[in-house]
Structure 1
Amino acid sequence: MRTTTRWAGVAVLAMAVAVQPQAVAEAGGQAADGVRTVTLVTGDKVTVTGPTSAAVEPGEGREKATFLTDVAEGRLRVLPDDAVPLVRAGRLDPRLFDVTGLLELGYDDSRQELPLLVTGASGPAPALRAMSGYWTLGAVRGFAVRQRRGEAVRTWQALAAGTGKVWLDGRRRVTLDVSVKQVGAQTTWCMDSAVLAGMQWAAEQGARIVNLSLGSPDTPGVDPLEEAVQTLSERHGTLFVTAAGNDGADRRLSSPGTADAALQVGAVSKTGEQAEFASRGPHAGDDHLKPDITAPGVDITAARGKDSPGDGSYAAMSGISMATPHVTGVAALLAGQHPGWKGGLLKAALMGAARPLPGIGVFAQGADSWTPTVARARPSPSSRPR
């Protein structure tokens, strides 16, 4: 039976099939290297048997389940029929069923637990509170848990019956460009739950400016880190200065800088040309203007780390993570001059004081490039927070 479902707002034509332990879909070459198995949040197992095929085995007691399978742009997705209404209702993160994505994150069955986030929950059921790794995350009115593979069928029932939205506890890449591959930093990942906990701790400790040089591809809607930026900004007046990303393409911005309250930073050269690695807007879903501002991020001299190649005390590096701290530092200086200003006012002042750079589109530079004359920074009428 041919059916149509939606993955993150995109219509996908899929095939509903009664699954036996046999090949059911053609998976892209990126899905696996050899045979790897992923247990979905529902307890069903997907085994990628080679570069182009996969097999699905229903979880215990789920032998009558059917599955929507899809292969698009080299990515395999498998969606059990009882999860379809929850995905459509926005209560399940579609990434939970992106087999290729789960493999890329290392969330196959070599890992004994699947990390999850639940946001907007009115209160966890006892079965969820008893799950491994449970801890609360007030910034998203939810909690983090780890689902043991052998308990997936049972805990799936509790998750599906609960309130709030169930997310994959994904991993954010530190936003460094190709110039630092040799030191291994470009492969650094942070768990979403750990980032959320750090953001909440910093805001609660009174930090007025927080630098977030990390991200993952933005999607339509509000993800947990974007929600946390909004909540903590409103609750504590914190300004989160965030990276636009290093994908070097239009509509490829990184979350959580895409949150409205965040000050998202793009990159230019020292002489004001667009950095070729810098991600550009607009915001996914609504074409909202992002990034908000730019700063130098090409061949920036910084202290050399102990694992960096070469000699001397300093090294030149490029990337959004070299641009973002420029703005964070300027924001901190401005906050020091104006102790009563909250994050929204600091953001407005910095954007209002930015100067335009010729030849760069608005979705690459936002309000244009920062200016070091922070003493004169004042929020313009058009950039005042509303």
Structure 2
Amino acid sequence: MRTRRWVLALLAPALLLVPLPTQAAEPAAPVATPDKVVTLITGDQVVLRGGDRDRVSIVQAAGREQVGFESRRTAEEWTVMPSDVRAAVQSGQLDRRLFDLDLLVRDGYDDAARGDIPVLVTGSTVAAREATTVRALKSGTALSVPKAKAAGFLQQFGVQGIGRQTATGTKIWLDRTLHTSLDHSVPQIGAPAAWQAGYTGKGVTVAVLDSGIDSTHPDLAGQVVAAKNFTADPAADTGGHGTHVASTIAGKGTNGHRGVAPDAKLLDGKVCDDFGYCSESTVLAGVEWAVAQQAKVVNLSLGGPAGDETDPLEQALDRFTREAGTLFVVAAGNNGREVESPGTAASALTVGAIDADEKLADFSAPGPGRGGAIKPDLTAPGVGIVAARAGGSHPEEPVGDRYAKMSGTSMATPHAAGAAALLAQQHAGWKAPELKAALTSTAKANPELTPYQQGSGRVDVARAVGQSVVAATTSVSFGTARWPHADDQPVTRQVTYRNFGSTPVTLDLRAELKAGSSPAPAGALRLSAERLTVAAGGEASVQIVSDTTHAGPDGLYTGRLLATAGAQQVVVPLVVDKEVESYDVAVTTLGADGKPVPAGQAFVSFARLDSWEPFDGRDVTRLPKGKYVLDATVFGPAGQHYRIVQPEFDVRRDAAVVLDVRTAKPVKVSVPRADARGFVSFFGYQRRTATGGEMSTWNLQPLGDQLFLGRLGRPVPNEQFKAFLVSYLGRLAPDGSLAGSPFVYGLVDTRRGQFFDGFRRTIHSDRQLAHVVAQYRGPAGTEDSWRLVGRQPGVDTMPIGAPVTLPHTVHQYLEPRTNWQQAFADETREPRQYKPGTTTTETWTHPTPS
């Protein structure tokens, strides 16, 4: 069964959220795990209690007490975003990753790890009073923003919604952290044959931007011609990653482990620290240095998650490829799911990993790249690679004192970089486009793998140095042919061949195309010619036509165009997306005034029931035929929170959907106590499918008088959909918290088969509920906090809490038939149910310090 949990939460000023474990826990150890605090670029803080991502609270920066927060969580991403910067993020002025909690915690941007927020500003000259310039780069300005001054930085810089407006085109990016991407292999790619032909990389300089190079290693002695340390760590390669990469490129092989281009020279740009972390601005600085040093090839065995936009590092690689002709050889990444940045740069030679048996490594990141581009471009050996071990390093798999065995696309990448160095020696005038084309054209394709797994295939440098014809067109994507296909127009692409030899070459052309393992029908691809003669020193082109009117199944088709002439073979990977049955769904969201809701205030999504794949529902959405959950959250100008849900939206034709928040009705909950006010409401649903898939989602809204819920469509079977609303009320303190409240109400309401259509509930007597007298005892004046959460099957939310000064008593009025879990100080008790109309006393004693 596949389960995905989505969380969409609006967190309020002064809202104290102090979550408990989802199951009963033993009393905490005397020394608790410290909280992890992340200060956002707005100056607000996200607190992970005990370092647990499921135990969250928010602390607003001074002067921002009335700003709300939105939290969204999927299996891939968790963002916590203040409401006043949503528009800036949506417009592209602020990098979304500045609010990606998973990334910020994982990569060491929390407050315990550093006291500043590193950013990159592109698009304008920067003079920020609240920040320190770290580096002025051609690609932008790297700044260090002290966390105590973060809110002032945005105000002074003029982020949309905060302060004055900035110049058009200016963007503030997180200076993100990239990671290094971790003997038979050199012969596997044909390097010995290239050596025999006289090509060893002599006269070619390759830059290694990594963790440094141990130039005292016998295999690397005399190989490094220039070095620069861009990090705050010592220049030595204590991690060993960069040395391993460097010797794979240009190791002299004093003990048998020879690099691909043993006579090439190296530039050592240390851009990654001793733990393998590399800030984007540091890598950018290294790239600019390598280009200035006239490196022919730059090896980047590093990467990080790619966003929806082309980031500054990708932009730099594309620009320097175009302006300087430098070839950037980049690791595809080791996540096994999607190509990482900067391997997503269009101009980069992006490298995946195979093993000694030519099988794709399970960690090798596949494509597609952005916009359906074919990535990686090729593969190279990256499993169990033995190469030089840096002195003082401690590899997981040492091979004697001088060598280490490592695996990763990091190890595959230098094989391709070394191969490029051999070609650069052979063709001194070639630049990045020619080098990339020669390597991809001559790669050895694995018929079991698709272009999105292997690009053109495994690098074959013996073939690359031995043949004269290459394809200047490194790959072909025909894009997406929209369904239905009876009226599809043929799409033509041109593939150009170049002959660098002294005699004409006649190529025999053949195109292959498959849907999975099944060949495409005849006529799916047509060539303008089956034979093509390329003159000596000249070019010739063939037209390749994709016709998706064929009777083959809808879906993705992949293949290759093969050109052969004797021993010469040129391969160009192909991709055709014959769209599955799909329809346009136009979405209009109307506010309380009946007018379209401004951008940044409406979030509409369609989640496909058979995969939970999310689709953005703004404007017109193209959706494959099928059934979806339609979910809309809209924020009103005065703090209103609207949620409209359709449990099953059946896409079988073009459709227009109008989401009118005026159809959502208010949530009203009242209790006997006149001084009770709504503290917070949790609301969401659990959606199950007949095949066992499940998705859970919840929101929260403070001060529930601004909450409006609505539903669309017909009900689904009760067992497939359960909506819930959990309401907490109490006597609110001036700051909106429950601090000092003598009572708290916890109510749980559910609906089966469909979402709420507004909600009204009146508790006429406290005896309708269970009465729990929570007594908190301990040394007078001691301060601590209590926590409380109610759960039912399909109802799983964040606990609430409040600080108290001992001694203190809280009268709790709780929903029967609900598992209530309580905690105080460091003690968490097992969940239990309470019967209606009964009174139970729970006594807590604060631990006495030893």
TM-score of the aligned structures, taking structure 1 as reference length = 0.85
3-state SS of 2:425 partner: helix
Paired residue for 1:85? 87
1:314 aligned onto 2:403: yes
Q: Which residue number corresponds to residue 380 of structure 2?
A: 295
Aligned residue number for residue 5 of structure 1: none
1:117–1:168 contact (8 Å) kept in structure 2: yes
**Partner SS for 2:372:** coil
- CA–CA separation in structure 2 for the residues paired with 1:27 and 1:137: 46
Does the aligned pair in 2 maintain the 1:124–1:162 contact within 8 Å? Answer: no
Could you tell me which of 110, 114, 117 is aligned with 1:114?
A: 117
Q: Is the 8 A contact 1:137 1:143 kept in 2?
A: yes
Q: How far does residue 25 in structure 1 lie from its aligned partner after superposition?
A: 8.4
- Output the CA distance in 2 between the equivalents of 1:168 and 1:13: 23
Deviations 1:356-375 (A, max 9, x none): 12312221110111112232
SS class of match (2:63): coil
Residue in 2 that maps onto 1:262: 348
Amino acid at match of 1:18: A
CA contact (8 A) 1:239 1:346 kept: yes
* Aligned counterpart, 1:7: none
Q: Which moved more, 1:268-277 or 1:197-206?
A: 268-277
**Residue 261 of structure 1 aligns to a residue in which SS?**
coil
* 2:16 corresponds to: 22
Partner of 2:284: 196
Whole-Å Cα distance in 1 between the matches of residues 21 and 373 of structure 2? 34
Mapped to 2, the partners of 1:108 and 1:126 lie a distance apart of: 23
Query: Cα distance, 1:184 vs. partner?
Result: 7.9
Q: 1:84 to 1:358 in 2, by over 3 A?
A: same
Instruction: Describe the SS at the equivalent of 1:23.
Output: coil
Distance of 2:172 and 2:441 partners within structure 1: 39
1:77–1:213: structure 2 CA closer, same or farther, 3 Å change rule? Answer: same
Query: Contact (CA 8 Å) 1:43, 1:156: kept in 2 or not?
Result: no
Separation of aligned partners in 2, 1:105 and 1:21: 27
1:244-303 residue CA offsets vs partner (Å, 9 max, x unmatched): 111223xx111101111000011112332222221111114x221100011111222212
1:62 partner letter: R
CA–CA separation in structure 1 for the residues paired with 2:20 and 2:450: 40
Q: Do the aligned partners of 2:44 and 2:60 also contact (CA within 8 Å) in 1?
A: yes
Native 8 Å contact 1:331 1:346 kept in 2: yes
Q: Give the C-alpha shift of residue 24 in structure 1.
A: 8.3
Question: Measured at CA, do residues 372 and 54 of structure 1 come closer, stay the same or move farther in structure 2, by a change above 3 Å?
Answer: same
- 8 Å contact 1:351–1:370 — kept in the other structure? yes
Superposed, which structure 2 residues align to 1:217-296 within 5 Å? Answer: 217-249=305-337, 252-284=338-370, 286-296=371-381
Matched, 1:55 2:143: no
CA change 1:42–1:352 in 2 (3 A) is same
Q: Quick check: 2:386–2:399 contact (8 Å CA) kept in 1? A: no
Do 2:439 and 2:461's aligned partners in 1 also have CA atoms closer than 8 Å?
no
Seen in structure 2, the aligned counterparts of structure 1 residues 303 and 339 have a Cα distance that, compared at 3 Å, is: same
Q: Does 1:341 align with 2:430?
A: yes
Distance in 2 between residues matched to 1:22 and 1:313, nearest whole Å: 55
Distance 1:13 1:277 in 2: 29
- Where structure 1 has 5 or more consecutive residues not aligned to the other structure, the ranges are 1-11, 177-182
Opposite residue 379 of structure 2, the aligned amino acid is: T
More helix by share: 1
Shift of 1:213: 0.2
Q: Which residue of 2 aligns with 1:179?
A: none
Equivalent residue of 1:38, what SS? strand
AA at the equivalent of 2:437? A
Q: CA deviation at 1:381?
A: 4.8
Per the TM alignment, residue 158 of structure 1 is displaced from its structure 2 partner at its CA by 2.5
Distance 2:420 2:63 in 1: 56
The answer to whether 1:143 aligns with 2:152 is no
The Cα shift of 1:65 comes to 1.4
TM-superposition CA deviations, 1:194-251 (whole Å, max 9, x none): 00100011112211100000001223221111111111111111110000111223xx
> Contact 1:118–1:167 (CA<8 Å) still a contact in 2?
yes
Shift of 1:331: 0.5
Residue 105 of structure 2: aligned partner: 103
Preserved CA contact (<8 Å) 1:246 1:319: yes
Q: Is the 8 A contact 2:354 2:361 kept in 1?
A: yes
Larger deviation: 89-98 or 12-21?
A: 12-21
DSSP-derived class of the 2:351 partner: strand
Residue 329 in structure 1 maps to residue 418 in structure 2: yes
Shift of 1:147: 0.4
SS of aligned partner of 2:470 = coil
- Residue aligned with 2:318, SS: helix
Counterpart of 1:127 in 2: which secondary structure? coil
Q: Which moved more, 1:346-355 or 1:300-309?
A: 300-309
- Cα separation, 1, equivalents of 2:368 and 2:19: 34
Deviates more, 1:289-298 or 1:374-383: 374-383
Separation (CA, whole Å) in 1 of partners of 2:46 and 2:472: 55
Deviates more, 1:49-58 or 1:363-372: 49-58
Change in Cα spacing, 1:115 to 1:332, as seen in structure 2 (3 Å) is: same
- State the shift of 1:152 in Å: 1.2
Separation in 1, partners of 2:77, 2:325: 40
1:162 maps onto 2:152 in alignment? no
Q: Please tell me the residue identity of whatever aligns with 1:196.
A: L
Q: Give the conservation status (yes or no) of the 8 Å contact 1:132–1:146.
A: yes
Q: Distance in 2 between matches of 1:27 and 1:81?
A: 28
Q: Which structure is larger by alpha-carbon Rg, 1 or 2? A: 2
Query: Which protein is richer in strand relative to its size?
Result: 2
Relative to structure 1, the CA distance from residue 340 to residue 80 in structure 2 (aligned partners, 3 Å threshold; closer, same or farther) is same
Q: What's the counterpart of residue 64 of structure 1?
A: 66
Instruction: Decide whether the 8 Å contact of 2:240 with 2:389 is kept in 1.
Output: no
* CA distance, structure 2, for counterparts of residue 352 and residue 262 of structure 1: 15
Cα deviation for residue 15 of structure 1 reads 3.7
**What's the secondary structure of 2:85's corresponding residue?**
helix
Counterpart of 2:314 in 1: which secondary structure?
A: helix
Unaligned runs of 5+ in 2: 1-5, 23-31, 160-164, 183-238, 242-273, 475-495, 498-850
CA distance in 2, matches of 1:150, 1:221: 29
Q: Give yes or no for contact 1:204–1:236 (8 Å, CA) kept in 2.
A: no
Q: Aligned partners of 2:20 and 2:10: how far apart in 1?
A: 14
Contact 2:78–2:100, Cα closer than 8 Å, also in 1:
yes
The alpha carbon displacement at 1:72 in A equals 3.2
- Alpha-carbon RMSD across the aligned residues, in angstroms, is 2.7
CA 1:287 to 1:24, structure 2 compared with 1: closer, same or farther past 3 Å? farther
Deviations 1:8-57 (A, max 9, x none): xxxx87343432151188999xxx96312111101112222242222212
Distance 1:255 1:316, change over 3 A: same
Q: Is the CA contact (8 Å cut-off) linking 2:128 and 2:156 kept in structure 1?
A: no
> Which residue does 1:8 correspond to in 2?
none
Specify the alignment match of 1:352 in structure 2: 441
Matched letter for residue 291 of structure 1: P
CA distance in 2, matches of 1:206, 1:79: 43
Change (3 A) 1:261 1:77: same
SS in 1 for 2:282: helix
One-letter code of the match for 1:270?
A
Q: How many residues align?
A: 359
SS of the aligned residue for 1:294 comes to: strand
Quote the residue 2:452 is aligned against. Answer: 363
